[in-house]
Structure 1
């Protein structure tokens, strides 16, 4: 069972808050809701299915959970600890949620299933699938959302292919804009993250990959004028001949971005938390690059 850490008023103490999820629930993820609400999504069901995608909101003022609801049900889902469902809600109340379903071609063939919910009764739900998208991250955008994801060639998961970082807008009605490339070669199966800055640009964080198999964290900035070149956040020098399945986390508040990630680095990472885990304020990315 997962436990949500909620900040206590006036102090920096933290208390564990049990979500309204059943025993054995997994694939938890948090997202900002409307106002002071934080929304939690997760998956319930036996190991081989059928599965339910569930959601509940935590009210930070009242310090209570809202009623849990089922967003989707299915059997042929690709449920795992790394590529978990993501959701993003607009200020108008519309919510876009994405989860992974298995494809027919192979174990690693997958479809990103998107669900769009209207905020007012009757709560209309529109469903659509996009083949080949994995590790999708979402953020509100003008007239809808921006989505980023990993898209690989055949063989990308076994190291013989190449995985790219891609992006596209998703408009109301689940109409996807033309996809565009952010980075031509990235780590194959690490989660992506994105956050919006005060000036309306999006910053995307991800685990990069170079020709020497160094897999450090990079960021790109997406705005109306175009996409910046990838910027390596820190020269960790983590060289590993395989994906560590461990991506960054990114959040924005005011003029700052908070970025957290795991690395073992070139020194072997004798301590996972002292030497290997860093929290950085990347204020420079909040302005033009």
Structure 2
């Protein structure tokens, strides 16, 4: 007797929920268009591998431009009055190693600039060196192709992180493959050495000093990341144990000495190859935040973790994204208790660059979709930097197989 009214009510309710969901979806889409403000990029097409750097004085974007099949150019632009200035050239050359995950960087310290790129050292596919380029303050011409490492081995060197350090220098860390070249005895046994993590200090003239081995065995092709805390520099990276556990590790320079590396959290990710998905860190004094990707038991996820004592200990990790996440993270601290994290995620076969605010107590804002992206390697690793009261983003877009860089910003108070 009551079946028909019940079915009718159910159908009406379903239609109401459907319409409400569509309305919410539309409102969310419209809101997102208001939140994300595109910013014109002056570098044109055939551009990729953006890197954002920002401090209280300058905001700089560097990128690679493909001139033709054999010639590549490294350019940069300053952000001024909310717009990118016309591009400036650092260096143009041949025989560069241009890789989707191992991109050039640029950094500034008191008016002095330092940038790097990778140049092949032989015809072997994975044999290339890190070339430093410096532009001291009040000098008009870049000093290019400075030598970072002096081992002269035809092996891999890359995944650089460079930061302004002290008053007149830069801190640099990188993955170094000099020990991966087998000697005669090892070659007969089929053994080669491992990728290592190194660091050094570089002057504004490009002079390298205080080079140090931080870890003799690391994952071979995940990005490094570093920050300068009140205690000194810290470096985070994907480590590699003899059991092929490849979790994120930290080493810290405290009282002039580097600590023994240790995991920031024991994920226990056992994998027999490199996932090409490194961590990102940011710091305010001795308050630290780290974002990273892991996929233990085939379950991918992005996690965030805070430290209140310079990385000596960490709080419990906070889950940011799972299921279809691609990682490729970035993170920026807003204050000692709060950070904004970005990552790539695929939903219903569409990949997005997303960002949201997270507190160390685990409170999370509604994620903002910054842009739709391709999920291939060509998209590279999106960049994020805080500039005043805005968060800026840069990424590589592909339209009809033509690459170009896109930039945008979101006001911090909208997260």
Shared fold (TM-score, shorter chain, > 0.5): yes
Q: How far 1:193 moved relative to its partner? A: 0.8
Alpha-carbon distance in structure 2 between the residues aligned to 1:159 and 1:136: 26
Task: Confirm whether residue 168 of structure 1 aligns to residue 192 of structure 2.
Answer: no
Q: 1:247 aligns with which of 256, 261, 278?
A: 278
Per-residue Cα deviation, 1:179-210 (whole angstroms, up to 9, x for no partner): 2111121101111111111x251111100000
Task: Confirm whether residue 31 of structure 1 aligns to residue 33 of structure 2.
Answer: no
**Equivalences for residues 42-53 of structure 1 within 5 A:** 42-46=63-67, 48-53=69-74
Change (3 A) 1:124 1:118: farther
- Pick which of 142-151 and 185-194 moved more: 142-151
Residue 5 (structure 1) aligns with: none
Q: 2:119 aligns with which of 101, 110, 129?
A: 101
Q: How far 1:136 moved relative to its partner? A: 1.4
Residue 7 (structure 1) aligns with: none
Task: Confirm whether residue 54 of structure 1 aligns to residue 75 of structure 2.
Answer: yes
Alpha-carbon distance in structure 1 between the residues aligned to 2:254 and 2:68: 41
Q: How far 1:172 moved relative to its partner? A: 3.1
Q: 1:137 aligns with which of 120, 141, 161?
A: 161
Q: 1:193 aligns with which of 215, 219, 225?
A: 225
| TM-score of the superposed pair, with normalisation by structure 2 | 0.59
Alpha-carbon distance in structure 2 between the residues aligned to 1:237 and 1:287: 20
Alpha-carbon distance in structure 1 between the residues aligned to 2:266 and 2:73: 41
**Equivalences for residues 3-14 of structure 1 within 5 A:** 13-14=35-36
Q: 1:88 aligns with which of 95, 99, 107?
A: 107
- Pick which of 73-82 and 105-114 moved more: 105-114
Q: What is the SS of the residue equivalent to 2:309?
A: helix
Residue 98 (structure 2) aligns with: 79
Alpha-carbon distance in structure 2 between the residues aligned to 1:201 and 1:93: 22
Residue 117 (structure 1) aligns with: 135
Alpha-carbon distance in structure 2 between the residues aligned to 1:115 and 1:82: 20
Residue 295 (structure 2) aligns with: 264
Number of equivalent positions? 265
- The answer (yes or no) to whether the contact 2:105–2:162 under 8 Å persists in 1 is yes
- The answer (yes or no) to whether the contact 1:145–1:171 under 8 Å persists in 2 is yes
| TM-score of the superposed pair, with normalisation by structure 1 | 0.83
Alpha-carbon distance in structure 2 between the residues aligned to 1:182 and 1:170: 17
Q: What is the SS of the residue equivalent to 2:245?
A: coil
Q: How far 1:159 moved relative to its partner? A: 8.4
RMSD: 2.5
- The answer (yes or no) to whether the contact 2:112–2:204 under 8 Å persists in 1 is no
